[in-house]
Structure 1
């Protein structure tokens, strides 16, 4: 784990609140001059701690009313099948995340769709065509109680 000092932790917290914060405002908030602030920010980016910046969108307001948690079980785990599986997962715009998990199922996906008909089409045209998949179980979200990509910023030496 990369050591993160208190100033960098404060910077990361501020940027999670407002990724569009200017360097001038960031430096002012941190009581730093702009050049050292910019250098510190660049180090966080170059080290991969900050992977990028993006706008958070309201999925419902852009027409994605269905969110599903999908559990997949696979019978094949060879290199070719896994590579094909991963390529399809990575290129599917409906899949927000995919995790290789422990337990009865091999993968947990979070997927979105416009409506149930669109989700059905996604299952038929994408999920059922994944190589090696023997079981697909979907749980549809009825109500989203929390949605965040914010990470808790903690001292690396604690």
Structure 2
């Protein structure tokens, strides 16, 4: 996918929206130093070009009974396009999997899984992960505490 060129105003818009996606266009325009119409056009262009992919609420997992975070390393028996695609499709369909990365190193995939407790994670492994065809090894790393968790992407040298 082609990289989009961002000027300083676009970078400032993105920085503000990453901190407060619910800010009004009027407030955003005032912070950036643009007219509301010009600000709206820029935000719309950032959305249409795929720079902004959506807006969402950030939740505290432990406050809604989803307090166990597990980083799961999956290693495959074989590396074929079909088997890898099937695993990617299956894993992507599991609501417990918040993130899935194809990686290099000691594993082929790293999953970030959120579940209520250890019994739920045991069920997730037995009913979902262990039923996948082609998995050679599963290693689980349990999060003791969260140090940093952000979706904010640095966008140039924003003042």
Q: TM-score range by the shorter chain?
A: over 0.9
Query: Aligned pair count?
Result: 155
Aligned to 2:55: 53
Match runs of 1:1-158 below 5 Å: 1-154=3-156
Measured on the aligned residues, the alpha-carbon RMSD in Å equals 1.1
Shift of 1:10: 0.4
Using structure 1 for the length normalisation, give the TM-score: 0.94
Separation of aligned partners in 2, 1:30 and 1:71: 42
Report the more deviating stretch, 92-101 or 78-87.
78-87
Separation of aligned partners in 2, 1:19 and 1:111: 25
Separation of aligned partners in 1, 2:154 and 2:32: 19
Shift of 1:83: 2.5
Shift of 1:77: 2.5
Shift of 1:76: 2.3
Shift of 1:79: 3.0
Structure 1 residues 5-27: Cα deviation after superposition (integer angstroms, max 9, x where no partner): 00000000000110001111111
Name segments (4+ residues, structure 1) moved above 3 Å.
none
Unaligned 5+ runs, structure 1: none
Unaligned 5+ runs, structure 2: none
